Amino acid sequence: MSLSLARRAALAVLAAAALAPHPASAEPDADMILAQSDRARGGGLPGITWDVQADSTGGDEDKAGTHMLLRVSAADNSSVSETLEPVRQKGARMLNVDRVMWLTRPGLKKPVPISPRQRLTGQAAVGDIAATNYVQDYAPRLDRADACGARRCWVLELTAKAKNTTYDRILYWVTVDGNTAARAEFYSVSGKLLKSADFEYGNAIEFGGRKLPFVSRMVIRDALSTATTTLAYAHIKVQKIPSTEFDVGHLD
């Protein structure tokens, strides 16, 4: 074969390769997206503490507004929160270990089991205050890509793996470029929308040699009223937490 014919044959092969359809890019892994978003809300970390202030407005029982301040310690799949304010509830503690929760407070002889779905204050459930371990608690399915403000998000449909989760089903918007939750819609098992939440990330933590965003505000809105609860996060510290902090025998 002459050089000219060989060259033309090679060009033909390259052209055919360029025109051939390329394989579709692999679909993002829903479990990985969820696990990464959990870290920005205290889940899956070896040890972290923060303060969370809960302020509620609206609703028949909260017309004047309510205020709470809690200190939370979390590690892996466990967390414990202590109420600092209001004074009448000071010293109450809630422990969460693998979706099982207990409450103790001054005057109680021993810790009592509680549900993550139990109302804490306003629109915030007990489970909303604990560290977020959605990758452990829910089976995620990638539903679609969607816009969330000026950013692109993956929308995950989360289905509870057990009955002792905070919610039965969640639609969860996670930013494509930052792997942080931007919005959540919480549903009952029958498919009724209960409430929604929007998230902000003005805090940051150091983990694995990287600086990562950490939640600064979670605004929870009731689906049927104007009732709103705002959770504000501050004093974030990544630090080792003694295992005794998560031992129900040391809770009282």
pLDDT, tens digit, 9 for 90 and up, residues 62-106: 455 799 999 999 998 899 999 999 999 999 999 999 889 999 999
Residue 167: what are its φ and ψ, rounded to 5°? -135, 155
**CB-facing half-sphere around the CA of 27: CA atoms within 13 A:** 10
Distance CA 37, CA 213 (A): 10
* CATH fold label, 32-250: outer membrane lipoprotein receptor (LolB), chain A (2.50.20)
What is the structure's pLDDT at 63?
Answer: 53
Q: How far apart are CA 209 and CA 105, in angstroms?
A: 38
Q: Residue 190, class by beta-carbon neighbours within 10 Å (0-12 exposed, 13-18 middle, 19+ buried)?
A: exposed
Is the pLDDT at 246 greater than 60, yes or no? yes
The Cα–Cα gap between 104 and 111 comes to 5
The predicted pLDDT at position 61 comes to 54
**For residue 134, which phi and psi values (nearest 5 degrees)?**
-60, -35
The domains of the chain are located at 32-250
pLDDT (average), residues 131-136? 91
pLDDT, tens digit, for every residue of 211-224? 999 999 999 999 99
Residue-level pLDDT at 196: 98
The two tokens of residue 205 are 């933590």
